[in-house]
């Protein structure tokens, strides 16, 4: 099973069986990331509908076009996403390192430097 195509991190069939629970965790973390992405994408689509197609804009804060957006929930979704993606990547690093937490943390810092901070 391939966990990381860039670093070519793979688990043998024996390790897949041994790490069933951890791999299950990767599955539900991935589902959560997809859920958060879809929720924010729906909100963004509603905002984009209100902006003329010939305009490029950057919006944040108190822009009138954002009045219908639950901005507090979007901010929370960002935090949930960041924490979840760090947990996901840390689990991949932990599996790749055979359970070495220090190497797992190093992997997170290397793969997600801006998010990790």
Taking the model in full, what pTM does it have?
0.85
CB 80 within 8 A of CB 31: no
Give dist(CA 59, CA 68) in Å, integer: 13
pLDDT of residue 64: 84
Identify the pLDDT of residue 68. 86
The predicted pLDDT at position 82 comes to 95
Q: Residue 109 sits in which domain range? A: 2-116
Residue 105's φ and ψ, nearest 5 degrees, are: -65, -40
For the chain, the domain total comes to 1
What's the pLDDT score for residue 62?
Answer: 80
Backbone angles phi, psi at 97, to 5 degrees: -95, 10
Greatest alpha-carbon span in the chain: 56
pLDDT (tens, 9 = 90+) of the chain, 117 residues, equals: 999 999 999 999 999 999 999 999 999 999 999 999 999 999 999 988 988 889 888 887 788 888 888 989 999 999 999 999 999 999 999 999 999 999 999 999 999 998 877
Give the pLDDT confidence score for residue 87 in this predicted structure: 97
| Residues 18, 110: Cα–Cα separation, whole Å | 26
pLDDT at position 115, please? Answer: 87
Q: Which residues of 80-115 are buried (b: 16+ CB within 10 A; e: fewer)?
A: bbbebbbbbbbbbbbbbbeeeeeebbebbeebbeee
- Please list the alpha-helical segments (H only) found in the chain: 13-18, 20-49, 71-96, 101-111, 113-116
């Amino acid at each position: 099973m391939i966990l990381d195509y860039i670093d070519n991190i793979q688990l043998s069939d024996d390790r897949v069986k041994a790490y069933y629970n951890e791999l299950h965790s990767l599955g539900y973390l991935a589902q959560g990331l997809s859920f958060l992405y879809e929720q924010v994408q729906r909100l963004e689509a509603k905002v984009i509908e209100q902006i003329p197609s010939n305009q490029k804009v950057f919006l944040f804060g108190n822009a009138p076009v954002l009045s219908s957006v639950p901005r507090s929930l979007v901010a929370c979704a960002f935090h949930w996403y960041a924490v979840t993606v760090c947990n996901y990547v840390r689990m991949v690093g932990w599996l790749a390192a055979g359970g070495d937490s220090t190497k797992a943390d190093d992997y997170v810092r290397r793969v997600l430097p801006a998010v990790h901070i």
